[in-house]
Every structure is written in structure tokens, then in C-alpha cells.
């Protein structure tokens, strides 16, 4: 009985048109051009590398997209068990009529050519969005993105601030900031002013969020101008910063971003827990890992200081999920946001989804975002989530608590779509 119910509810959830609240789509090239764009997603390159593929083979300068795929495919024999390859199969079947069990050395080449033809069809971008039931897509924009040349109603800008918070001391960061804001930053006052101009620029182009990813040991603190000023001067003087100075300037910039989020009414997406470049010889975008020893208690000052700012929070470690549920249950401004990266696999999604739906207010949780780089991935990734969601809604609500299917569906719809609208103020 429950199996049929889950299938029915999943089918109903599939009909909901979505706004994808976090992606890495390039609005100037949102859809794939070849199979290499799809299989170049870091999940495939890093898993192939982990399974034995040399990095040099797939990152050799100048190789053609087709050659790259040719070199990757032999390693997929080691990956067919992964849910990430299941996303690919879903794409291959849903969009390109693939009928095999798996992509192999025997069948990849004609498929490559076929995919290229389909992707070249006029209107593919619209088609893939329509068939994926995605109406709008949040972007991840560099702070100096001009935000021009694309439809900001469909591709919603989002101010990504990692560079400002963690790499202000890199020579090009201040140069980029100066250029983007037509400023010459010589003081903390200038810096604040420049940051304000970024917010004006982004919100005037329809931005709906500020976002950042954060290492597991980051602890936001208010930093006064007088504490921050000497560090900025050291950066301007080209002096290398101490560890403490790095923390000071990171916290100083971060806190001022939160202040501007308050001023401009933008939610501040926090993606907590990533250590960058842990595996230095890894493939592009396949070098980051985490330390499970982190806690949302590190953010208590922030959450207390900015009650008017909504903080949609993603956690990288599944062991952080109970904290996220609990902080979301207590703090009005903490929102549980999606299932991120290493936690974005069914066993973790299921337990995390169950706990959020049963313990946090229904208006404070956003079920899922795709995190995709190319539009084709929204369909399989949201589908994976919708299956987990349907299972939870049926088992924990319809069966365990006697809810009607309509009522369970409405809860699913709210976490998938409704809360994206209310929390990010889009529709």
C-alpha cells in the first residue's frame, strides 16, 4: 500500500513548477553544448579520478570535448553504483532517449553524437527548463559581475561574497572591487561604501540573496572599524597577514555584509562547513572536503545580532543537520536550506528531511536546490529529492499521522516552492 501511495505522491510532486533557489548556472550559457558539459560536472570527474583516472588525462590542455568524454567513460564502470551516475542516466533517458543500463566504452560514441544534435536544437534552453518544470533559477554571481546581457527575471542574481570575506588580501580582489564600484578603497570607510554600492548594484538588477560558503571553524564576530583598519592598511601595503589578522578582516567584512543584508532586505545564504583544497592534486572543483567538528553555536552572535535578516543555512556534514533543525526551531531567522553536496545523497536526505519536517515550522524550510552548473541537472536532482520527500510524506504523515494525501501534498509543495517565494521574495 505505502509503495503505491509513495509513487502517486511522487508523481504529484513532479507536477509542481519550481524556482531553483541555488545554482551555479552561467546565464550566458545555461544549457550544455555537448556531453562533455554534462559529464564535465565535477561529480563525474572527481569520482572517475577517485576510481583511477589520472587527473592529467582529463585536464590535458587543448583536448576536445569528445576526447575528454572518451577518456572518462572507461572509469564509469566503477561508478554505476553511485547516485551521481544515476542522475546522469536520468538525464540520458529523459532528454536524449538513452536506453542502455549504463554508459560504456561500447555505446558512448554514437550517444555523444546524438546528444550534440539534440543540444544544438533551437530553443533547447527553453525546452529543458519547461520539461524540468523550472521557471526561475537563482545564480551565483561574482561580486563584480555586471549582471547584464541576460534575463534577470528568469536568472535571478545572487551576490556571492567568498572572495570579499576570505580573499580580500589577494591583490586582485581590491582591484576588482575598486573597478566594480568605481571606488578607490583606502580605508574601512571606503570599503563599507564600496560594499554598499555592490548591494545597490545587485538589488537594482533583481538580486534576491547574498551568499557565502564558510569553513567549519569560521566564527562570525563584530569587528570595530578601529580593529579592522590596521589590517586593511596592511593589505594595502602588500604585507602578508597573520592568521589573526586574516580572521579579523574576514569577520569585519562578513559582519558588514550582514548589515547590508539587513539594510537591503536580502536573505544571507550561509553554506557552512567546507574546507577548500584539502586534496591539492585533485581535479578541478574536486579538492574540497570537510571536518565534521563544527557547530552552529559559532553563529550565535550573528543570529542574535540580526533578527531582521533571514539566514537560509546549508550544512555540509549530515551530523550538523540536527543542529540545523534545532536552531531553525528556536531562532526565527534561521531557515533550513536544501541538502548540500556531500549530504546530497538519499540516505542522508531521507533522515535530514524527516527530522526537518517533523520538528521545524513548515514555513521555515526550503526543501531543495539543485546547485547545478548546467540546466540539464535540475530534473534528476530534484527528482531524487522528490522521491525522498514523497517517502517521508507518506510514511510519517499519511500513514503514521492519518493525513490525507492532499494535505501531505500541500506540505510538500510548500517546502518545494512556496517557501522559496516567501523567504526570497520572488514569485
Question: What are the backbone dihedrals phi and psi of residue 72, each rounded to the nearest 5 degrees, phi first?
Answer: -75, -40
Question: What is the Cα–Cα distance from 402 to 68, expressed in whole angstroms?
Answer: 52
Number of CB atoms found within 10 A of residue 364's CB: 22
Beta strands, E only, 198-300 = 209-214, 268-272, 274-275, 289-290
Q: Residue holding cell 548556472? A: 25
Q: Work out whether 50 is an interface residue with a copy of itself (CB under 8 A).
A: yes
Q: Work out whether 322 is an interface residue with a copy of itself (CB under 8 A).
A: yes
Q: Work out whether 186 is an interface residue with a copy of itself (CB under 8 A).
A: no
Q: Work out whether 23 is an interface residue with a copy of itself (CB under 8 A).
A: no
Question: What is the Cα–Cα distance from 6 to 350, expressed in whole angstroms?
Answer: 14
Ramachandran class of 59: left when φ > 0, alpha when ψ lies in -120 to 50, beta otherwise: alpha
* Residue 407 CB, nearest approach to a copy of itself (Å): 7
Question: What is the Cα–Cα distance from 422 to 357, expressed in whole angstroms?
Answer: 18
> Pick from 16, 234, 289, 426: which binds a copy of itself (CB under 8 A)?
289
Closest CA to 195 of 246, 263, 98: 263
| Stretch 83-102: interaction string toward a copy of itself, x if CB under 8 A | xx-x--------------x-
> Pick from 131, 400, 425, 427: which binds a copy of itself (CB under 8 A)?
400
Q: Work out whether 49 is an interface residue with a copy of itself (CB under 8 A).
A: yes
Q: Total number of residues binding a copy of itself (CB under 8 A)?
A: 75
Q: Work out whether 45 is an interface residue with a copy of itself (CB under 8 A).
A: no
Which stretch in 180-188, 195-203, 222-230, 303-311 sits in contact with a copy of itself by CB under 8 A? 303-311
Question: What is the Cα–Cα distance from 66 to 277, expressed in whole angstroms?
Answer: 28
Which stretch in 16-24, 30-38, 79-87, 246-254 sits in contact with a copy of itself by CB under 8 A? 79-87
Which stretch in 57-65, 111-119, 137-145, 297-305 sits in contact with a copy of itself by CB under 8 A? 297-305
Closest CA to 270 of 232, 228, 298: 298
* Residue 397 CB, nearest approach to a copy of itself (Å): 8
| Stretch 325-364: interaction string toward a copy of itself, x if CB under 8 A | xxxxxxxx---------xx-xxxx--x--xx-xxxxxxxx
Map the footprint of a copy of itself across residues 51-70, applying CB under 8 A.
51-52
Burial-class residue 106 by CB neighbours within 10 Å (0-12, 13-18, 19+). exposed
Map the footprint of a copy of itself across residues 202-231, applying CB under 8 A.
none
Q: Work out whether 81 is an interface residue with a copy of itself (CB under 8 A).
A: yes
Question: What is the Cα–Cα distance from 70 to 73, expressed in whole angstroms?
Answer: 6
Q: Work out whether 7 is an interface residue with a copy of itself (CB under 8 A).
A: no
Look at strands 311-315 and 268-272 and give their pairing: parallel
Question: What are the backbone dihedrals phi and psi of residue 211, each rounded to the nearest 5 degrees, phi first?
Answer: -145, 155
Nearer to a copy of itself, 83 or 180 (CB): 83
Map the footprint of a copy of itself across residues 375-394, applying CB under 8 A.
387
Q: Residue holding cell 570599503? A: 191
> Pick from 278, 308, 425, 427: which binds a copy of itself (CB under 8 A)?
278
* Residue 292 CB, nearest approach to a copy of itself (Å): 6
Amino acid at each position: 500500500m505505502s509503495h503505491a501511495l509513495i509513487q502517486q505522491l511522487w508523481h504529484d510532486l513532479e507536477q509542481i513548477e519550481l524556482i531553483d533557489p541555488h545554482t551555479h548556472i552561467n546565464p550566458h550559457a545555461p544549457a550544455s553544448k555537448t556531453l562533455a558539459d554534462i559529464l564535465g560536472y565535477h561529480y563525474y570527474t572527481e569520482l572517475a579520478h577517485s576510481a583511477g583516472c589520472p587527473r592529467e588525462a582529463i585536464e590535458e590542455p587543448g583536448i576536445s570535448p569528445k576526447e575528454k568524454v572518451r577518456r572518462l567513460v572507461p572509469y564509469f564502470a566503477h561508478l554505476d553504483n553511485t547516485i551521481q551516475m544515476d542522475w546522469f542516466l536520468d538525464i540520458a533517458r529523459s532528454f536524449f532517449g538513452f536506453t542502455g543500463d549504463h554508459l560504456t566504452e561500447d555505446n558512448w560514441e554514437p550517444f555523444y553524437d546524438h546528444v550534440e544534435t539534440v543540444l544544438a536544437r533551437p530553443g533547447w534552453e527553453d525546452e529543458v527548463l519547461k520539461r524540468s518544470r523550472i521557471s526561475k533559477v537563482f545564480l551565483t554571481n561574482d561580486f563584480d559581475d555586471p549582471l547584464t546581457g541576460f534575463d534577470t527575471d528568469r536568472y535571478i542574481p545572487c551576490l556571492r561574497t567568498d572572495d570579499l570575506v576570505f580573499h580580500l588580501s589577494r591583490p586582485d580582489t581590491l582591484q576588482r572591487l575598486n573597478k566594480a564600484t568605481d571606488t578607490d578603497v583606502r580605508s574601512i570607510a571606503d570599503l563599507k561604501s564600496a560594499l554598499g554600492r555592490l548591494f545597490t548594484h545587485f538589488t537594482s538588477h533583481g538580486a534576491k540573496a547574498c551568499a557565502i560558503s564558510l569553513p567549519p571553524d569560521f566564527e562570525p564576530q563584530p569587528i570595530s572599524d578601529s580593529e579592522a583598519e590596521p589590517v586593511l592598511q596592511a593589505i594595502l601595503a602588500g604585507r602578508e597577514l597573520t592568521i589573526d589578522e586574516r580572521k579579523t578582516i574576514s569577520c569585519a567584512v562578513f559582519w558588514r555584509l550582514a548589515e547590508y543584508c539587513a539594510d537591503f532586505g536580502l536573505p544571507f545564504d550561509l553554506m557552512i562547513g567546507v574546507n577548500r583544497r584539502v586534496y591539492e592534486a585533485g581535479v578541478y572543483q574536486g579538492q574540497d572536503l570537510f571536518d565534521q567538528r563544527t557547530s552552529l553555536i559559532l553563529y550565535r552572535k550573528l543570529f542574535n545580532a540580526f533578527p531582521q535578516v533571514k539566514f537560509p543555512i546549508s550544512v555540509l556534514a549530515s551530523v550538523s543537520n540536527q543542529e540545523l533543525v534545532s536552531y531553525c526551531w528556536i531562532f526565527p531567522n534561521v531557515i533550513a536550506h536544501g541538502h548540500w553536496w556531500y549530504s546530497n545523497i538519499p540516505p542522508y536526505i531521507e533522515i535530514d528531511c524527516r527530522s526537518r519536517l517533523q520538528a521545524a515550522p513548515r514555513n521555515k524550510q526550503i526543501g531543495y536546490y539543485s546547485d547545478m552548473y548546467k540546466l540539464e541537472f535540475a530534473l534528476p536532482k530534484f527528482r531524487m529529492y522528490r522521491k525522498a520527500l514523497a517517502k517521508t510524506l507518506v510514511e510519517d504523515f499519511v500513514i503514521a499521522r492519518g493525513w490525507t494525501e492532499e494535505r501531505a501534498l500541500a506540505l510538500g509543495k510548500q517546502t518545494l516552492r512556496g517557501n522559496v517565494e516567501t523567504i526570497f521574495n520572488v514569485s
